[in-house]
Each structure stands twice: as structure tokens, then as C-alpha cells.
Amino acid sequence: MSWLVTGGAGYIGAHVVRVMAESGEDVVVYDDLSTGSADRVPSGVPLVVGSVLDRELLEKTIRDHSVTGVVHIAAKKQVGESVELPLHYYRENVTGLQTLLEAMTATGVSRIVFSSSAAVYGMPDVDLVTEDTPCAPMSPYGETKLVGEWLIAAAARAHGLRAISLRYFNVAGAAAPELSDGGVFNLVPMVFERLEAGEAPHIFGDDYATPDGTCVRDYIHVQDIASAHQAAAARLNEAPEGTSLILNIGRGEGSSVREVVERILKVTDNEDRTPDVTARRAGDPARVVASADRIREELGWTARLDLDDMIDSAWQGWRHRHG
């Protein structure tokens, strides 16, 4: 087996590449480097710089490297930006996936692991979000991920593809400081940035119907995300034609925003700093926590790392990047 990992030079993709390469898989990285970095790609792993909209280059890469399966991680992923640039997001995330699937079917590649998102669920009013919870995405980003799942399922039926779509919940942490997240779009790096500037971290709303009034989320270590991809790829090696699974990647355990912030303050020696509570952000559901039963049943996979592991490793990565 040889796996093409699109977006393999990015934050999540680089973790997936490292886990798969260390397990003995032949891996090829395909990335446009718009947000990824060639420095993340392990020594000895080929890197092809290109867009998922370039079918000719995709087909050439697949043939040149005898690719037999694809892990598709490349995507635009900022919710707010997707509201401002919906056409861009649909082109990159939906047309890009369509182009990739066309290249796969043209070259006889029948296995795909797709990076989806819990954003497909929107604001579910349930204690635990299962894969059967109705999807009602609240942003063009979430819409593109849901459409991507539909497109893959249709291609599996029509062309005998073997596919697993993985819905990530809130990703944090790093397996190594050099693989840490360089963006400041999620809670943990946003708090780090505020503290580094000598400012109090923000908590958006403390009047939700949760134990401490702040939003509750399911946080998952990026290393666990990577191991889930590896398990999905291994499953597809044995799966029959037409297989199309959708699985949550989460811990099945919620942590409140206040709990996360307080743990960050402790790790960074800022326990004397009091967070600023500001108004709620529009569209933030009170609680989104995954049911992780199905992925355990289907892949034999469970998360191994906890919130402290995520925060500790993210802080090490932040200091590595920011000195």
C-alpha cells in the first residue's frame, strides 16, 4: 500500500503522515503549502507541491508513486472566513474533492479516508452527538464538509470506492513542538496569545445552561486524531467495495471553556490572572460532545490522551514557535 496524504504538510496532516510513516506505510505528501510547511514533512517522505484542483498533477502523482489509497485532509477550515468567502470555500473544499475523486477513479485508486468535521452538526441539542444526530451546519465551511461526505458516499456506491469519513471534534496539542499548530484560531492558542501580550484571556459568555455557565466541548489530542486516521486506513485495506462509513473522532468527554482556561493559566504560571467574561458569540452552542462508541466498535480505536496532555504539549509547541 502507498498512501497519498493531501494537506500532509499542515498541522493535522503532518501528524497523520508521521504516524503512518512510522508504522511502515509508504506515504506521499501532496500540499499547496498555503498554510502548511515543507519543514513538517519527515525526511524520506516525498512532497509534491500542488493544488487539489489540478487533476493532471494529481493523476501524475498517483501514477508516479503507485498510490493505492488517499487520506484527504487538504481543505480551507476557518469558519469565519468561510462566511466571508463562501465561493472560495466551496471551490477548494467541494470542487477540490470532486477533482481528487475524478483522479482516483481515472487511476484505479479505490480507498479514501476523508477528514470531515463536527461542524456538520451545527447546534445539536443532545447530551452526546452520535453519527445519527441530524446535521444542520451553520457555516459554509460546515456545509462543504457535509457535501463532501455526500459526494464520497455517492462515489462509493457508483464506483465501488471504499471510504471512511472522520468527523473531528475540537483538536488541540502536538506530538512534538515542531509539529504544533501555527494558527491562532482555536481556544488554546488564543489564550496563549492573550497571555503573551500581557492581557487576560476572553471567555465568551458565562450564562449557558452548563455546570459553570461556559460552553462545553469535546477536546481531542491531535496525536489521537492521527492514530484514528491510521486505524481507518488499515480498515480500508480489508473493506469490501462500496464501504462508506462515517465516524466521530472524540473522547466522549466534555470540558468547559472555563476549565480549559484555568488549566492553561496553571500550566503557564498565570494563576493570578482573571479571565475577562464578554458577551456570547453568535452561533456558539452550549454543549457539543461526541459519542465515540461507533469508532471503537468499527475500528477498535479509542483516544489515549487527555486535556492535560493537550495543553502541556500545545504550550511546549507555542514556546518553540514564539521563543
Do 149 and 178 lie in one domain? The reply is no
Q: Is the pLDDT of residue 183 over 90?
A: no
| Neighbour count for residue 44 (Cβ, 10 Å) | 7
pLDDT digits (tens, 9 = 90+) for 100-143: 999 999 999 999 999 999 999 998 989 999 999 999 999 999 99
Do 167 and 280 lie in one domain? The reply is no
Do 210 and 307 lie in one domain? The reply is yes
> By the 8 A CB rule, do 170 and 220 touch?
yes
DSSP state letters, 162-186: EEEEEEE-EEE--SSGGGS-----S
Do 128 and 93 lie in one domain? The reply is yes
pLDDT digits (tens, 9 = 90+) for 11-66: 999 999 999 999 999 999 999 999 999 999 999 999 999 999 999 999 999 999 99
What does the block give as the cell for 27? 506515504
pTM value? 0.95
Do 200 and 75 lie in one domain? The reply is no
| 141 in active site | yes
Do 177 and 264 lie in one domain? The reply is yes
The total of structural domains in the chain comes to: 2
> By the 8 A CB rule, do 140 and 37 touch?
no
Report pLDDT for 72.
98
Residue 75, domain extent: 2-171+220-249
Q: What is the CATH number of the domain that holds 301?
A: 3.90.25.10
Do 89 and 133 lie in one domain? The reply is yes
Do 106 and 12 lie in one domain? The reply is yes
Strand partners, 79: none
Which of 26, 320, 4 has its CA nearest to residue 175? Answer: 320
Q: What is the CATH number of the domain that holds 115?
A: 3.40.50.720
Q: Say how far apart CA 209 and CA 290 lie, in whole Å.
A: 18
Strand partners, 163: 112, 244
Do 182 and 72 lie in one domain? The reply is no
Q: 188 CB contacts (<8 Å, ≥6 apart)?
A: 172, 260, 264, 310, 311, 314
Do 156 and 271 lie in one domain? The reply is no
> By the 8 A CB rule, do 294 and 217 touch?
no
Do 212 and 120 lie in one domain? The reply is no
Do 298 and 155 lie in one domain? The reply is no
Which residue is catalytic, options 30, 90, 141, 208?
Answer: 141
